[in-house]
Structure 1
Amino acid sequence: MNLRDGKTRLILIAAALGIALVVAVASCGGGEDDGGEQKEDGQSQETANTGEEQPEGETSDNQGGEETEGGEESSAIGQVTTPEGISITFTRAEREDGGFLTIEGSITNNGSERLFDVGWAGPEKELAENGFSMAGATLTARTEGKRYLILRDTTGRCLCTGFAGSIKPGETVSWFAQFPAPDPATDEVDFQIGTIPAVTLEIQ
């Protein structure tokens, strides 16, 4: 073999190796690009899914709040408000074992002055020491033609709420009062205390 033939073969081998190297590099580069595109597509899909789930959670919370408010509004069985802004709410009028009737509710002072009325203790001397309390409350059963007075113990303390001090403007306090139970056939009574207008309550 002469020198010219040897050089020609070397050139052909070098060219073949160069072409193979270019093909290999191009193949590796294409694989990396595909992987990057797949990753970006996956991230986009996850972001879209997250955006769809969040509004569903917010709707559930709002519905729960509406149900709670509805339950609170339906708890009152009666209410009376004076021109001075004193609001008495009734939430329970129920017969109890032992032959007595329990009335419960709350008082809110929406006026501008403190509420302190010893006249709520009623005109009975036995109840006078109860002071500002629900001691003077009465129930009238019109179908029976009877008036029921507050229950009290042997010392003259009423089975009712006594208010320590006064009820301040903007303050709400809970109260209860117990009376002898009316006849079983009686399903309504009129509640009254002091100069507050009477309120008709349905016995539960």
Structure 2
Amino acid sequence: MTIGYAGAVRRAGVAALLATTLVFTVAACGGGGDGSEAQGDKTKGSTAPAGSTGSPASDGKTVPDTTTVLVTAKGDKGVDMVIHTANRDSGGFLTVSGEFKNTSGNLFSVPPQWNGMEKDVAASGNSLAAMTLVDSKEKKRYYVLRDTDNRPLTTTGYDPAIKAGESLPFFAQFPAPPNTTTSVDLQFVGFPNTPIEIS
């Protein structure tokens, strides 16, 4: 009688252990799939700026709205930086678009300083990561934003030179200054300090 009772207890214990293991296995499999997919969605980055009128940064080509000219800055060697728009969007970003116009009769080689000094950004190739905005009112400097892969949210991968009479369209996306700030100074290598109005 004692031996039979012990065997029944052992069989019941094994059954309970198997049932518990099965419950944990099902819960782990069900939860793991959903969690990993959700995490995957969170880490996906986009090179297309929110509210930008241009193409994604990865293709290096943008087509800004050229119907408006906010300001033109005369740069080195006959290259003008024409700013067409500086738009604040609801996501808290400020996107500046424009073009570099080679008004000289010579080929303009884009200086490597346009890429900025960050080693991590060098992997993106040619970019405008060195472009910054200065909010004198708030005494803050804003740098070009990065995506989740640390690529700058600006025009990248463009040709290393601009032919005479041709243009290089561009965009650059920054954190938006406070709503009370209506203008900022754009600073970029080879060009004078350039005040622009935010719309």
Question: TM class, shorter-chain normalised?
Answer: 0.5 to 0.7
Q: Is the 8 A contact 1:113 1:169 kept in 2?
A: yes
- Number of the residue aligned with 1:94: 87
Does structure 1 residue 199 correspond to structure 2 residue 197?
no
Deviation at 1:161, TM superposition (A): 0.6
Change (3 A) 1:110 1:187: same
In 1, the alpha carbon distance for the partners of 2:126 and 2:194 equals: 20
Does structure 1 residue 133 correspond to structure 2 residue 127?
yes
Q: Which amino acid aligns with 2:78?
A: G
Equivalent positions of 1:91-170 (< 5 A) are 91-111=84-104, 112-162=106-156, 163-170=158-165
In 1, the alpha carbon distance for the partners of 2:168 and 2:85 equals: 15
Does structure 1 residue 179 correspond to structure 2 residue 174?
yes
In 1, the alpha carbon distance for the partners of 2:167 and 2:84 equals: 14
Change (3 A) 1:83 1:173: closer
- Number of the residue aligned with 2:13: none
Q: Which amino acid aligns with 1:192?
A: Q
Q: Which amino acid aligns with 1:75?
A: T
Equivalent positions of 1:52-71 (< 5 A) are none
In 1, the alpha carbon distance for the partners of 2:160 and 2:178 equals: 36
Change (3 A) 1:83 1:159: closer
In 2, the alpha carbon distance for the partners of 1:73 and 1:105 equals: 8
Unaligned runs of 5+ in 1: 1-71
- Number of the residue aligned with 2:20: none
Change (3 A) 1:179 1:73: closer
Query: Tell me, what secondary structure is at the counterpart of 1:84?
Result: helix
Change (3 A) 1:198 1:129: farther
Deviation at 1:132, TM superposition (A): 2.8
Q: Is the 8 A contact 1:118 1:131 kept in 2?
A: no
Superposed CA offset, 1:159-179 (max 9, x none): 111223321121112110000
Q: Which amino acid aligns with 1:108?
A: K
In 2, the alpha carbon distance for the partners of 1:102 and 1:76 equals: 15
Superposed CA offset, 1:84-108 (max 9, x none): 1010100100101211000011111
Query: Which one has a larger percent helix, Structure 1 or Structure 2?
Result: 1
Q: TM-score, structure 2 length as denominator?
A: 0.62
Q: What root-mean-square deviation, in Å, do the aligned CA atoms of Structure 1 and Structure 2 show? A: 1.9
Deviation at 1:152, TM superposition (A): 0.9
- Number of the residue aligned with 1:48: none
Q: Is the 8 A contact 1:87 1:109 kept in 2?
A: yes
Q: Which moved more, 1:151-160 or 1:177-186?
A: 151-160
Change (3 A) 1:132 1:142: same
In 1, the alpha carbon distance for the partners of 2:90 and 2:159 equals: 29
Superposed CA offset, 1:19-58 (max 9, x none): xxxxxxxxxxxxxxxxxxxxxxxxxxxxxxxxxxxxxxxx
Q: Which amino acid aligns with 2:176?
A: A
Q: TM-score, structure 1 length as denominator?
A: 0.61
Q: Which amino acid aligns with 2:88?
A: R
